[in-house]
Amino acid sequence: MFYIDRMYLDKMSKLINKKDIRTAKKWCKKNHLKLYKDSSGEFAYQNDFDLAFDMPLINDLKLKYGNNWEEYYHAYNKNELHKILDSPQSTKVEKTGYAPKGKLSSKLFGGSLK
């Protein structure tokens, strides 16, 4: 029989460092984690919880490493991040979101003036 692991609110609240189940419910709502009910209590699926819990890390890796973020994420989960950071192919992509508009700011931030 096919079985998907479940994470009940009492265990979840300990992992997210919350003392009360009501606070864990608020965390689930804030992180768009759907809760289900059965005879043992409220739960979320383990894979969904893992994704919601790791989402800040995933977003940070996407910002830093661009399209290579998955490689860093898998290395992070296997505790092999030191191997990938030491490799010569690891390149960091910084996206600041700032685009210089004036001539002076273009000159300061690496834009060429013609």
Per residue in 59-105, pLDDT (tens digit) is: 998 998 888 888 888 888 888 877 777 765 655 655 666 777 778 87
> Which residues, in sequence order, are CB contacts of 56 under 8 Å at separation 6+?
none
With contact defined as beta carbons under 8 Å apart, do 47 and 54 qualify?
Answer: no
Instruction: Give the start-to-end residue ranges of the domains of the chain.
Output: 6-86
pLDDT digits (tens, 9 = 90+) for 18-53: 889 999 999 999 999 999 999 999 999 999 999 999
With contact defined as beta carbons under 8 Å apart, do 23 and 13 qualify?
Answer: yes
Q: How far apart are CA 9 and CA 50, in angstroms?
A: 14
- Distances in Å between the Cα of 110 and the Cα atoms of 3, 65, 96, 98, 102 are 55, 21, 14, 12, 12
